[in-house]
Amino acid sequence: MNEVYNSVGYLGLINGLAFGLFSQVFWKKRLGGERPLQYWAKAAVPVLSAFFLFYQPIRNGWEYSATRIVQQFDSNTTFTERLHVAGASRVMWGEPTVTGTVTLTRKDFEDLNAWLAEAHTNFFVFPHSTLLYGLHKRVSPQPWLYFMPNHSFLMSDIAQVGTTILESLQKNKVTVIVVEKSSHNDELLKQMPSLNAWLHNQFQKTKEFGFYEVWTLRTNEG
């Protein structure tokens, strides 16, 4: 699924070389002047074919480049402050750090880690900030450390993936779940009905740190 994005740079090189070749073959003058009309009529077929062949990847490349913000920082981002988090004290934090439409501050990340350190319990991160496991010296409580549909599992299997994750979380007595807020992640959770129901029935939202929501296991009352 990601091959289109990864090949955009190569498509630009291929297209540039191809158009350069066409300019030499079809537009370069000879000593006798311009090519005859009959030649241009014949040349129109491969030229038009090339145009339609190149149009789709060029358009896709433009759209993907304009919309994807993976590992991309705002042009005004500066790296001046170090993280005050055990295990990451040498990491320089970028300000601003924008995730989707939400700005995550250094204090948000530091406060989340301070809260997890104080809680000192097994937790589950959904879906991507698995760095938190390493910072708190914990093993992922479920099999999919890299949670990416159609990469680490088939999208058609997502309901079963949710069931497997739920069984693993229960087996490892997870009492805290850290959820990254976004409409995309909400949709993923809804497609794992067993895990989604367990989260909302057995847990309650306790804290928010930027775009992180911390859900804690409900205590039995009465």
Residue-wise pLDDT tens digits, 70-95: 556 777 889 989 999 999 999 999 99
Is residue 142 one of the residues assigned to a domain? yes
How far are the Cα atoms of 39, 99, 103, 122, 210 from residue 178, in angstroms, in the given order?
A: 67, 16, 17, 11, 12
pLDDT at 2: 61
pLDDT higher than 50, residue 222: no
8/60 same-domain check: yes
pLDDT digits (tens, 9 = 90+) for 95-114: 988 887 788 999 999 999 99
Does residue 153 sit in helix, strand or coil?
strand
* Structure-model confidence comparison of residues 122 and 4, the more confident one: 122
125/205 same-domain check: yes
- Tally of CB atoms within 10 A around 178: 19
Give the neighbor-by-neighbor strand order of the sheet with 212-217. Answer: 123-126, 176-180, 212-217, 203-209
Q: Which range of residues forms the domain containing residue 172?
A: 104-217
Q: Provide the number of structural domains found in the chain.
A: 2
d(CA 26, CA 44): 9
Closest C-alpha among 5, 21, 138 to residue 62: 5
* Overall average pLDDT of the 169-187 stretch: 94
Q: What is the mean pLDDT of the chain?
A: 84
Q: How far apart are the first and last CA of the chain?
A: 51
**DSSP secondary structure, 156-199, as one string:** GGHHHHHHHHHHHHHHTT--EEEEE--HHHHHHHHTSHHHHHHH
Is residue 75 one of the residues assigned to a domain? no
Is residue 86 one of the residues assigned to a domain? no
How far are the Cα atoms of 43, 124, 195, 211 from residue 204, in angstroms, in the given order?
A: 68, 14, 14, 16
Is residue 74 one of the residues assigned to a domain? no
Is residue 63 one of the residues assigned to a domain? yes
Does residue 93 sit in helix, strand or coil?
strand
* Overall average pLDDT of the 150-156 stretch: 91
Q: Kindly state the DSSP code that residue 79 receives in the 8-state scheme.
A: E
| pLDDT grade for 219, boundaries at 50, 70 and 90 | confident
58/119 same-domain check: no
Q: pTM for the full model?
A: 0.69
